Amino acid sequence: MTDLRRIDINLLVVFDAILTERHLTRAGERIGMSQPAVSGGLARLRQLYGDPLLVRSGGTFELTPKAEELRPLVREAMIEITRTLDVTPTFHPLTSSRTFLISASDYVLAFITSPLLALFAQEAPSATVEFDGLPADAQITPTDLLRRDAIITGAGRGVPGKQQALFSDRFVCLVDAHHPSLRDGKLSLSDLAELRHVRSEFGGHERTIVDDMLTAAGITPNNAITVQGFLPVPVMIQNTEMVGHVPERVANHYAAALGLVVAQTPLEAPNLIEVAHWHPSKTRDSASMWLIKTLRSAAKVLEFNRHTSARDPSRR
């Protein structure tokens, strides 16, 4: 085993900069070190790993396969070290200026942002919160959790770490109000099998709850359009004969304005349960735990005020 007493933590900082910039001068500028100092750090790293790590290729530099292999591990180590050293023993919301990062789908961000920011304004007026979309890869990893304070996804995605259920919704079938297949506001299973669908996906191309629901009913949907998230679905359906399944909150918010209606179908639509996930190491961080509690409070506002207006997606 490596004797950690012989490892200089600054060497990890140099290594992370080199792996990111792939250039000694730019790596030095990134971390405030001279090029000779970075070169000396690279020499020590080469000796430590028994690999050149960074090699010249024509007029540029490239990472060796060993360095490429180490890159995500070094990044994760840097994030964990920063998190560990930055943790404050006691978090005081009223005086904290901490910035929190939350990843979630467009649907979650559209509906939970307003109550969440209202709680921030009341309880932590100097703190800020930033939002981004779900990680691009289909499988969320511990590294993804380390890089964010919370990731909110639908239940059942196999996300590692700790979790807290926030709120639920149910899926409904959305169609144009003048759809020719509508009979007394209903669509049959044969209609759903024949009509073209607008399909939502998130990040990667993994199956969704809607995919499983249709498959369970023996339907192989004719997916005409695939969009990222739920919010584009109503716009895609407007003035067409396509159908799409979205959470009921999305349907309630957009249907009337776009001339759409919720069609009754024989499908047994499962509930969508949105869950906040965080890395187990963050459980020791009082600020992270305050965020999870605040997310839960915002979710309660959402649950008991089902028609809370969605935040304008263009302002996210």
User: What's the pLDDT score for residue 137?
Assistant: 67
Q: Which residue has the higher pLDDT, 308 or 193?
A: 193
pLDDT at 17 over 80: yes
pLDDT at 284 over 60: yes
- Which token pair is 294? 């605040």
Give the amino acid at 238: Q
Tell me how far apart the alpha carbons of residues 90 and 101 are, in angstroms, rounded to a whole number: 19
User: What's the pLDDT score for residue 121?
Assistant: 96
- H/E element holding 165? strand 162-176
User: What's the pLDDT score for residue 167?
Assistant: 96
Mean pLDDT value across the chain? 87
Split at pLDDT 50, 70, 90, the class of 75 is confident
Q: Does domain 96-316 have CATH number 3.40.190.290?
A: yes
pLDDT at 57 over 90: no
User: What's the pLDDT score for residue 60?
Assistant: 87
User: Over the stretch 212-246, which tens digit does the pLDDT of each residue have?
Assistant: 999 999 999 999 999 999 999 999 999 999 999 99
Q: Which residue has the higher pLDDT, 5 or 204?
A: 204
Ramachandran category for residue 259: left, alpha or beta (phi over 0 → left; psi -120 to 50 → alpha) = left
131 within 8 A of 102, measured Cβ to Cβ: yes
pLDDT at 2 over 60: no
What residue segments make up the domains of the chain, in order of their start? 4-86, 96-316
User: What's the pLDDT score for residue 46?
Assistant: 93
Tell me how far apart the alpha carbons of residues 112 and 109 are, in angstroms, rounded to a whole number: 6
Name the packing angle between helices 35-49 and 24-31 (round to 10°). 110
Q: Phi, psi at residue 265, to the nearest 5°?
A: -135, 165
Among 309, 294, 301, 304, CA closest to 122: 294
Split at pLDDT 50, 70, 90, the class of 119 is very high
As a residue count, the chain comes to: 316
Give the amino acid at 66: K
249 within 8 A of 271, measured Cβ to Cβ: no
Split at pLDDT 50, 70, 90, the class of 88 is low
User: What's the pLDDT score for residue 312?
Assistant: 40
Q: Which residue has the higher pLDDT, 77 or 241?
A: 241
153 within 8 A of 275, measured Cβ to Cβ: yes
User: What's the pLDDT score for residue 138?
Assistant: 63
Q: Which residues contact 274 (CB under 8 A, 6 or more apart)?
A: 104, 108, 152, 153, 154, 155, 165, 166, 167, 168, 169, 299
Split at pLDDT 50, 70, 90, the class of 307 is very low
Give the amino acid at 61: F
Portion of the chain with pLDDT greater than 90, in percent: 61
15 within 8 A of 41, measured Cβ to Cβ: yes
User: What's the pLDDT score for residue 10?
Assistant: 78
Among 161, 173, 310, CA closest to 153: 161
pLDDT at 315 over 60: no
- H/E element holding 45? helix 35-49
Class of residue 115 by CB neighbours under 10 A (exposed 0-12, middle 13-18, buried 19+): buried
User: What's the pLDDT score for residue 87?
Assistant: 53
User: What's the pLDDT score for residue 229?
Assistant: 92
Split at pLDDT 50, 70, 90, the class of 159 is confident
Name the CATH topology of 4-86. Arc Repressor Mutant, subunit A (1.10.10)
pLDDT at 281 over 80: no
Split at pLDDT 50, 70, 90, the class of 86 is low
